[in-house]
Each structure stands twice: as C-alpha cells, then as structure tokens.
Amino acid sequence: MTTKTLEKTEATVAKAEAAMKTGVESLLAGVSAAAKTTQTIGIEWAGFAKESYEHSAATAEKLSKASTFAKALEIQTEYLKGSFERGLAQAASLRDLHLALAKDLAKPFESFGLPKVA
C-alpha cells in the first residue's frame, strides 16, 4: 500500500468512527428521552386510575345517601358527565405524551434524512 492510500483509509476510518460515535450518542439521548416520556405516561395512568376510583367511591357514598329516585338519577348523571369529561381530558393528555414518545424515538434517525415526525 502506498502512503496516500493508507492516509485515505485512516481518514475514512476516522470519519466512520466519528459518525458511529455521533449516532450512538444520538440513540442514547433518544432512548433516555423516550424512557422519561414512558415514565410520565405511567404516572398519568396511575393518577387517572386513582382519581377515577376516588370519584367512584364518592359517588357511591352520595348514592347511598340519596333520599329519592330523582336525586339518585341526578347523582348518576353528574357522575357520568364528570367521568366522560375526565376521560376526554385524559385521552388528550395521553395523545400528546404518545406523540412526544414517537418524536423521542424518531429523533436518532433524523440524521439519516428520514422525514421528521410532525
């Protein structure tokens, strides 16, 4: 091998090592961000489950004290309306978190020229 060929090979290997290091660092950053987002999703679900249980227990207590059938229907209607609204809010929150998770997971691959997640 000539010196020129050897220098070219060394330069190519150095570029490949730098690209690999950058890629691994980017992948680790993306995985770390995804892990944090996944943890947040779990916390959201646990909080929603706790809130739902507390809401159900409070409603059951109110129903047990209802003096008339009409009052019981009013309590159930209030419960269903509140549950529906909380469910919609939770769905919106989880949608945003899952979108963030997709972005976190796609970030390491942006250097490959793939389209970005909107």
For residues 43-68, give the mean pLDDT: 95
* The pair of three-digit structure tokens given for residue 4, joined into one six-digit string: 């020129």
8 CB-near residues (< 8 Å, 6+ apart): none
- Categorize the per-residue pLDDT at 110 as very low, low, confident or very high, splitting at 50, 70 and 90: confident
Evaluate if residue 111 carries a pLDDT over 90.
Answer: no
For residues 14-43, give the mean pLDDT: 78
Among the ranges given (15-19, 64-68, 90-94), the one the predictor scored with the smallest mean pLDDT: 15-19
107/41: higher pLDDT: 41
Query: What span, in angstroms and rounded, lies between the C-alpha atoms of 29 and 13?
Result: 24
87/30: higher pLDDT: 87
Q: Is 48 within 8 Å of 86 (Cβ atoms)?
A: yes
Evaluate if residue 84 carries a pLDDT over 90.
Answer: yes
22/98: higher pLDDT: 98
78/28: higher pLDDT: 78
